[in-house]
Amino acid sequence: MPAKKDARKSPGSTSSDATPRPVPQSKQPAETSGELHREIRRPSSAWVDNLLMPALAVFTGLVVGGLIIAVANDAAITAWGNFFQNPVAAIKASWDAIIQAYSALFGGALGNPADIVAGFQTYFATGQTAGLYKAIYPFSESLVLTTPYIFLGLAVALGFRCGLFNIGAEGQFFMGALGAAYVGYSITTLPWFIHLPLALFGGAVAGAIWGAIPGYLKAKFGAHEVVNTIMMNWIAFRLSDWLLNGPMKAVGYRPVTSTVEATAELPRFFPDPLRLNWGFPLALVFALLVYWFLFKTTLGFEVRAVGANPDASRYAGMSVMRNFVLVMTLSGALAGLAGATQVLGTDHWVGQGFSAGYGFDSIALALLGKSHPLGVVLAALLFGILRGGATSMQSLARIPIHIISVIQGMVIIFVAAPAIIRWIYRLRIGTAEQTVLTRGWGK
């Protein structure tokens, strides 16, 4: 590209003046040698691509979110109104608004470090647990929120690996929750070691069905999975409205299911206000399983091959259709498990506002985690923290919880367009190539 530009310039320069000509000539070798220099010193680009770029994307997303927080803050707006009298106060008011919001966010998500240390000290000194539990409560809640994010992120990431964009995680999550809840409350006489796996399985099956339908339609008719999974979301919402007001409604006025039997519950680690349960380690186990499936099995290799190049895979004798259906089914099952662990471990019943956008967040999460199970776990932790803190940000700093969606939208854009991040931070390292994630209509 630069060579072409120079070639275009040089005729112009010769026609106007002969003297400037040596300058670009002498400049060019210097530039190339600089390029070479950088080539040698360049840190490994995998590090840049997989850690630095996502971190910068999140950071930039938080900065943009901060700007919106500052704009939405009344005190800051009044201070900016008097900008010409007191510019320092205006900037300080905005800065304070951002700091207040984000400290409420992270304080609400991670807890107060001093309290946690004090809690541990009293625990070791006296054996009293009350203070410790109170101090780690926020972090425990963040991990509780991380659990469905891990499952959902794995679901979306698995789809991406096969070149499929599963936006239906939201609906699959909801259906999984309903399936698990149904098995959980309708069967009453089983011992826990049968009932609990059965309830989890019920959730996985419900989610799998919801994922398999768009997968089948994609494989058989080439119907684009993005639109179909969204349609399945809306159908799931309507269906759940009906189920919660009709067949699955518990006795009483509210449109909620009955509470699941104790034999179907995922056990919790700590006494009551702390809701951290076996769902979290289960999610980590599934992250390992997905890693093993994708990178250590023949089937996983096929999935990735189809994702990378369906035509080449078909030529190599793999069934692209079968892989599409398989991946959408597994993806739906993972999303269904997310719903199941949420019901069996955290809520114990399903109500109407149950899903609350987890499925959509998981798209950002899978992109941020580069569709790798380890990346997904780390990104899920971040999103769990963001969401855990968002409620306290809403109550303490009066920032609506939806700011999280704004930040996530920005993060997706920045992750998907590394060129913007490179441009903002003047980065000249890392590879520029991008993988194609999705394909057009009916191809």
Partner 1 sequence: MAEQTQAAIMSKPNRQRLGTGLTLVIAGLLMLVLFVRGTQSGQTATFGMNTGGAALMIPDLVLPVQPTLYTLIVVTVFLGAWQLARGGIRSTGWLLVIVSFCFVAAFLIWATKDGSFNLVGMLNGTLGRAIPIALAALCGVISERAAVVNIAIEGIMLIAAMTAVISATLAHSLVVGLLVAILTGAVVAALHAVLVIRFKVDQIVSGVAINIFGTGITSFISSRYLESNIDVLNNSGTFKVMSIPLLSQIPILGPIFFEQGPIVYIALLLVAVLHVLLFYTPWGLRTRAVGEHPKAADTLGINVFLTRYVNVIIGGMIAGIGGAYFTIGSVGRFDQNMTAGKGFIGLAAMIFGKWNPIGAFLSSLLFGFADSLQVKMQILRVPIPSEFLAMAPYIVTMIVLTGIVGRAIPPAADGTPYEKQ
Cα atoms found within 13 Å of the Cα of residue 247, Cβ hemisphere only: 9
Nearer to partner 1, 143 or 181 (CB): 181
Residue selected from 363, 368, 393, 397 as contacting partner 1 according to rule CB under 8 A:
363
Q: How many CB atoms lie within 10 A of CB 318?
A: 17
Q: 166 to each of 27, 278, 319, how far by Cα in Å?
A: 50, 26, 20
d(CA 247, CA 121): 51
In the complex, least distance from residue 155 CB atom to partner 1, rounded to whole angstroms: 15
Q: Applying CB under 8 A, does 187 fall inside the site for partner 1?
A: no
Measured from the CB atom, is 98 or 196 closer to partner 1? 98
222 near partner 1, judged by CB under 8 A: yes
Q: What long-range pairs does 391-398 form, CB within 8 A, spacing at least 24?
A: 391/108, 392/104, 392/105, 392/107, 392/108, 392/109, 392/138, 393/101, 393/102, 393/104, 393/105, 393/108, 396/100, 396/104, 396/108, 397/69, 397/97, 397/100, 397/101, 397/104
Residue 7 near partner 1 by CB under 8 A: no
Residue with tokens 């309903």: 178
User: How far apart are alpha carbons 93 and 339 in whole angstroms?
Assistant: 42
By the rule CB under 8 A, 178 interacts with partner 1: no
Q: At what angle do helices 130-161 and 373-397 cross, to 10 degrees?
A: 130
Task: Please identify which residue in 9, 113, 400, 431 interacts with partner 1, judged by CB under 8 A.
Answer: 400
Instruction: By CB under 8 A, name the one of 81, 197, 402, 425 that touches partner 1.
Output: 402
Amino acid at 2: P
Output the smallest distance, CB 334 to partner 1, in A: 19
What are the backbone angles phi and psi of residue 343, rounded to the nearest 5°? -75, -50
Stretches 42-50, 318-326, 335-343, 404-412: which one binds partner 1 (CB under 8 A)? 404-412
Q: Cα–Cα distance between 272 and 258 in angstroms, integer?
A: 20
Q: Does 431 bind partner 1 (CB under 8 A)?
A: no
Give Cα separations from 311 to 149, 297, 298 (angstroms). Answer: 33, 21, 18
Name the residue nearer to partner 1 (CB basis): 100 or 263: 100
> Which of the stretches 184-192, 193-201, 226-234, 267-275 binds partner 1 when contact is defined by CB under 8 A?
226-234
Residue among 191 and 246 whose Cβ is closer to partner 1: 246
User: Which of the stretches 17-25, 46-54, 217-225, 248-256 binds partner 1 when contact is defined by CB under 8 A?
Assistant: 217-225
- 364 interacts with partner 1 by CB under 8 A: yes
Residue 284 within binding range of partner 1, rule CB under 8 A: no
356 near partner 1 (CB under 8 A): no
Give the residue with the Cβ less far from partner 1, 159 or 336: 159
CB 438 within 8 A of CB 165: yes
Q: How far is Cα 2 from Cα 297, in angstroms, rounded to an integer?
A: 44
Give residues 237-276 in contact with partner 1 (rule: CB under 8 A): 238-239, 241-242, 245-246
CB of 22 to partner 1, least distance (A): 30
- The answer to whether residue 309 forms part of the interface with partner 1 (CB under 8 A) is no
What is the token pair recorded at 72? 């939405």
Q: Which of 89, 318, 413, 427 binds partner 1 (CB under 8 A)?
A: 413
Binding segment for partner 1 (CB under 8 A), chosen from 204-212, 368-376, 378-386, 414-422, is 414-422
Residue 321 binds to partner 1 (criterion: CB under 8 A): no
Q: Which is nearer to partner 1, 229 or 277 (CB)?
A: 229
Provide the 3-class DSSP secondary structure of residue 277: strand
Q: Toward partner 1, which CB reaches closer, 52 or 239?
A: 239
State the CB neighbour count (10 A cutoff) for residue 357.
15
Torsion of CA 103, 383, 238, 202, to 10 degrees: -130
If one asks whether residue 223 binds partner 1 (CB under 8 A), the answer comes out as yes
User: Judged by CB under 8 A, does residue 351 bind partner 1?
Assistant: no
C-alpha span between 280 and 245 (Å, rounded): 31
What is the size of the binding site for partner 1 (CB under 8 A)? Answer: 55
Footprint of partner 1 (CB under 8 A): 68, 72, 165, 167, 217, 220-224, 226-228, 230-235, 238-239, 241-242, 245-246, 360, 363-364, 367, 399-400, 402-410, 412-413, 416-417, 419-420, 434, 436-443
